[in-house]
Amino acid sequence: MVIVMKPGTAQKDIQALAEEFEAKGFSVGITNGVGCSILGLVGDTTSLDIDKISINPHVERVVRVQEPYKKANRKFHPEDTVIRIGNAVIGGGNFSMIAGPCSVESEAQIVEVAKDVKAAGASLLRGGAFKPRTSPYSFQGMGEDGLNLLLKAKAATGLPIVTELMSPKYVDLFEEKVDVVQIGARNMQNFDLLKEVGRMSKPILLKRGLSSSYEEWIMSAEYIMSEGNENVILCERGIRTFETYTRNTLDVSAIPAVKRMSHLPVIVDPSHAAGMSWMVEPLAMAAIAVGADGLIIEVHNDPPHAKCDGQQSLTPNQFTGLMGKVAGMVHMAGKTLCR
Interface residues toward ligand PEP, by CB under 6 A = 102, 128, 132, 184-186, 207, 237, 269, 272
Nearest approach, Cβ of residue 209 and ligand PEP (Å): 9
CA-to-CA distance for 236 and 213, rounded, in angstroms?
11
Residue closer to ligand PEP (CB basis): 18 or 114: 114
Give DSSP secondary structure letters for 266-303.
EEE-HHHHH-SGGGHHHHHHHHHHTT-SEEEEEB-SSG
Cα–Cα distances (Å) from 225 to 72, 92, 139, 199, 234, in that order, read 7, 19, 32, 9, 12
Which H helix or E strand runs over 334? none
Residue closer to ligand PEP (CB basis): 59 or 206: 206
Nearest approach, Cβ of residue 126 and Mn ion (Å): 9
From the list Mn ion, ligand PEP, none, pick the one residue 207 interacts with, judged by a Cβ distance below 5 to 8 Å according to partner type: ligand PEP
- Kindly tell me which residue out of 116, 164, 196, 309 binds Mn ion, with binding defined by CB under 5 A: 309
> Which strands make up the sheet holding 2-5, listed edge to edge?
27-32, 37-42, 2-5, 59-63
CA-to-CA distance for 189 and 183, rounded, in angstroms?
10
Residue closer to Mn ion (CB basis): 102 or 180: 102
Task: Point out which residues pair with 42 in neighbouring strands.
Answer: 27
CA-to-CA distance for 65 and 269, rounded, in angstroms?
32
Q: Nearest CA to 214 among 164, 183, 182, 252?
A: 252
Residue closer to ligand PEP (CB basis): 185 or 290: 185
From the list ligand PEP, Mn ion, none, pick the one residue 166 interacts with, judged by a Cβ distance below 5 to 8 Å according to partner type: none
Nearest approach, Cβ of residue 332 and ligand PEP (Å): 27
Nearest approach, Cβ of residue 147 and Mn ion (Å): 17
Per-residue mark of binding to Mn ion, 267-306 (x: CB under 5 A): ----------------------------------------
Q: Nearest CA to 327 among 292, 290, 285, 266?
A: 285
Nearest approach, Cβ of residue 156 and ligand PEP (Å): 22
From the list Mn ion, ligand PEP, none, pick the one residue 184 interacts with, judged by a Cβ distance below 5 to 8 Å according to partner type: ligand PEP
Per-residue mark of binding to Mn ion, 96-125 (x: CB under 5 A): ------x-----------------------
**Minimal CB distance to Mn ion: which residue?**
102
Residue closer to Mn ion (CB basis): 87 or 246: 246
Residue closer to Mn ion (CB basis): 102 or 218: 102
Instruction: Give the dihedral of Cα atoms 276, 282, 283, 288; nearest 10 deg.
Output: 150
Quote the Cα angle for 200-204-207, to 5°. 140
Question: In the chain, helix, strand, coil percent, each to 5?
Answer: 40, 20, 40
Residue closer to ligand PEP (CB basis): 101 or 316: 101
Nearest approach, Cβ of residue 218 and Mn ion (Å): 24
Which residues of the shown chain bind Mn ion in the complex (CB under 5 A)? Answer: 102, 309
